[in-house]
Amino acid sequence: MSIFETLESEVRSYSRGWPTVFDRAQGSWLYSEDGKPYLDFFAGAGALNYGHNHPVLKKALIDYISRDGVTHSLDMFTVAKRDFLETLNEVILQPRSMEYKVIFPGPGGANAVEAALKLARKVTGKESVINFTNAFHGMTLGALSVTGNSMKRGGAGIPLVHATPMPYDQYFDGAYPDFLYFERLLEDSGSGLNEPAAVIVETVQGEGGINAARLEWLKGLSDLCKRHNILLILDDVQMGCGRTGPFFSFEEAGIEPDMICLSKSIGGYGLPMAITLIRPDLDVWAPGEHNGTFRGISPAFVTAAEALRTYWRDDELEKSTKAKGERIGTVFNEIVEAYPESNLVAKGRGLARGLEFPSGELAGKVCAAAFDRGLLMETSGPDSEVVKLLPALTTTDDEIEKGLGIIKDSVESVLAR
C-alpha cells in the first residue's frame, strides 16, 4: 500500500475503513487483488444502483467504445446524447407528465447543484438560499455553502454565507409543527431573514444520517415554496434513480420541484455524469453562461440510456427496491429490539437504510466488524453515528440476507461484548 501512503493526500477517507486494494467487481461484489470477495452494501455511495459492471450496460459500453463512438464531445450534438435525451424523455419524463429542460452542468453532483443555485439566483435576482440541517450537497464552494457538516464547511477557508439552515423534518422529533420557524420568518418583514431565491432539499439525507423526510413534510415544503414564491431545488443526486423505489425519490410526495439535480447513478455504470432538470420557463441562461469540459461524456450517455431502457420501462425495479428495503427495515427493527438498552434507531426508506448508534465510535466498530466479515458499509450523520446502507438495487434477496446476517453478527460482536 506504500504508494498510496507516500503519494496520495491525507484527505482520502474510504480507504481508511476498507484497507485493502480492490481489483475487480461484478454486481454486488468487489474483489480485492488477493481474490477476497466483499459484498458491497455501499455501492459507490449510491452511484451504482444497478451494481458493478452490469453485463447489459457493459456490453453497450464496449460496443460503443469498440466502434469508436465519440468519447468526449463538450456540449456538441452527438448520437449518444440524442439517444439519452430521447430515452429520458420517453421513459422517464413523459410517463410522469413532467416538463423539464435538461442542463448538462458538468460531470458530478456538485456541478448539478452549482448550476441550480446559479440559475435560481439569476432568475430571481435574490442571493439567499435556504438549506436544511444536516444537508449534504457537495464540496465546491457553492454546494459547500448549503452543506451542513461543520468539518467539511471548515475546509472552505472563507466564511460560507448566503445560506440559512432551517430544521429538517423531525429535527425536533415531531414535537413542533413543521416549518414553524421558517414560515414565521418569511411572513415577518422584520425577521432579518434575507428573502430567499430558493430552497434546496434532499428527500432522504444520506450523508446527514439517513434521515427520511415524511412525504407530507415534503408536500408541505413544496406548498410553502409556492405560497412564498421560492424556487424548490430537489437534490436527488443520491436518492434519485430509484434509490428509494420510484425513479425520482419525491414522486410519492406528489410534488413538482422547480429544479432537480441528478448524478451518481444517472450514468448507470459509475462513469461521471450529472444533469440538472429545470422548469422550462426558468431556462434564461445565455449560451455558454455556464460551461465546462466534461459535459458530454458519451460513454456515460450510452450506459445511462441503456439503464433507463433496461430498468424503467416498467415498475418491477421500483417494487423490488421497496420490498428489499422493507426487509432490511424489518431486520433493523429486530436488531433495535434485541438491544433495548442501546437505544438504536432504524432509519430510512427504500434501499437507503440506516442504523443509528449512540455514538460514532460504536457505529464505526460495527462497520469495521462487517468489513472483517466481508461486507462493505459506511457511517454517516453529524457524528458518524449511523451505519449507512446503500446496496445496489439489483442485489439479490440471497445477498440481502447474507449481508443482514453479517450485520447482525457485527452488531452483536460490538454490543454484546
**CA triple 271-276-390, angle to 5 deg:** 50
* Residues 356 and 382 sit within 8 Å (Cβ to Cβ): no
Residue 105 grid cell:
452542468
**Which of 276, 273, 271, 278 has its CA nearest to residue 296?**
273
User: Residue 132, SS3?
Assistant: strand
Range list of β-strands (E), 251-404 = 259-262, 275-278, 345-349, 352-356, 375-376, 378-380, 386-389
Min dist CB 337 to a second copy, Å, is 27
Min dist CB 350 to a second copy, Å, is 19
Which of 158, 416 has the CB closer to a second copy? 158
Which of 209, 350 has the CB closer to a second copy? 209
Min dist CB 389 to a second copy, Å, is 15
**Does residue 172 come out as left (phi exceeding 0), alpha (psi in the -120 to 50 range) or beta?**
alpha
Residue with cell string 440559475: 119
Kind of pairing between the strands at 259-262 and 231-235: parallel
Which of 197, 411 has the CB closer to a second copy? 197
Min dist CB 296 to a second copy, Å, is 9
* Residues 405 and 398 sit within 8 Å (Cβ to Cβ): no
Min dist CB 331 to a second copy, Å, is 26
Which of 73, 333 has the CB closer to a second copy? 73
* Residues 99 and 134 sit within 8 Å (Cβ to Cβ): no
Min dist CB 301 to a second copy, Å, is 12
Which of 273, 317 has the CB closer to a second copy? 273
Residue 368 grid cell:
469495521
Which of 283, 315 has the CB closer to a second copy? 283
* Residues 284 and 278 sit within 8 Å (Cβ to Cβ): no
